[in-house]
Amino acid sequence: MSITFQSQVFTIKTTKDPIGGDRKNRTILGSTDPSENLIIIDGTLPQSRQEEVLIHELIHISDMSLSEFAVNDLGQALYSLMFENRLLGPGWFDRLVDGDATILEAEMVNELSQDIKESQEAVGIFRMVVDEGPAPPGNGFAVSPTQKGDEYLLDVVHGGKVNRVACRRAEATVISGHVPYSKAMTRELVELIEVVLKEEPHPALTRLAKG
């Protein structure tokens, strides 16, 4: 049946095998390809988990600037709200799914899962926290310019670990307005402080992230 959002029709398919080849290797449970208007979900998951993953992917479609941290929290909360209050009609998921992913589509999402796995292994999955140590020499602002020169990215992951000092330096940099910043960057920084450091971001940073 597919689903329509902002006049765009998105096809929804499920895989026959676990994404990534097996359950131990998968790093994602679903994926959205906005260029093809295609959503693929791991069909080996329990039904309720597939439903939650679909909600997760639909949130991505609604706002591609949201970070994965935000989408995870919002998706779980929204699905719980709808499920517990019986706002989802019987068989709603099956009505939306268009069938099995093709071999090519499954291979594409498997490759994405592998790419993410390799990236996570390279950066430590952003789960470890360094409590001490300054930001790298020469980067007191803890943000780095992109090739465009007028855009900046967070520079707070050192040695595969989120650096607490660097996060706080980046926070001060954003609040002070020393460099151009995007709402997506401020949201990512807020979530790193809240989720990884388990601390409270400065109220001014929170206001900027909410915009």
- DSSP calls for 33-53: ETTTTEEEE-TTS-HHHHHHH
**Least-confidence region, from 44-48, 100-104, 120-124, 166-170:** 120-124
Residue the block writes with tokens 């020469």:
138
Task: Tell whether the model's pLDDT for residue 128 goes beyond 50.
Answer: no
Residue 126 pLDDT greater than 70, yes or no: no
Which of 15-19, 35-39, 103-107, 197-201 is least confident?
A: 197-201
Domain covering 3-123: architecture: 2-Layer Sandwich (3.30)
- What are the tokens at 161? 């670990």
Q: Which residues contact 54 (CB under 8 A, 6 or more apart)?
A: 12, 30, 39, 41, 93, 96
- Higher-pLDDT residue of 3, 154: 3
pLDDT for 71 equals 81
What is the average per-residue pLDDT within 41-69? 88
Answer yes or no: is pLDDT of 204 > 50. Answer: yes
Q: How many residues can be counted in the chain?
A: 211
Q: Cα separation of 101 and 88, whole Å?
A: 24
Contact in structure between 101 and 15 (CB atoms under 8 Å): yes
Mean pLDDT to the nearest integer, 85-93:
91
Domain with CATH 3.30.2010 in the chain: 3-123
Q: What is the identity of the amino acid at 5?
A: F
Query: How many other CB atoms are there within 10 angstroms of residue 188's CB atom?
Result: 21
The answer to whether 193 touches 171, Cβ cutoff 8 Å, is yes
pLDDT at position 127 is 43
With residue 22 as reference, give the H or E element that holds it: none
Residue 37's pLDDT band, with cuts at 50, 70 and 90, is very high
Across the range 63-91, mean pLDDT stands at 85
When pLDDT is cut at 50, 70 and 90, the band that residue 73 belongs to is confident
Give per-residue burial for 103-142: e unless 16+ CB within 10 Å, then b: eebbebbbebbbebbeeeeeeeebeeebeeeebeeeeebb
Residue 135's pLDDT is 47
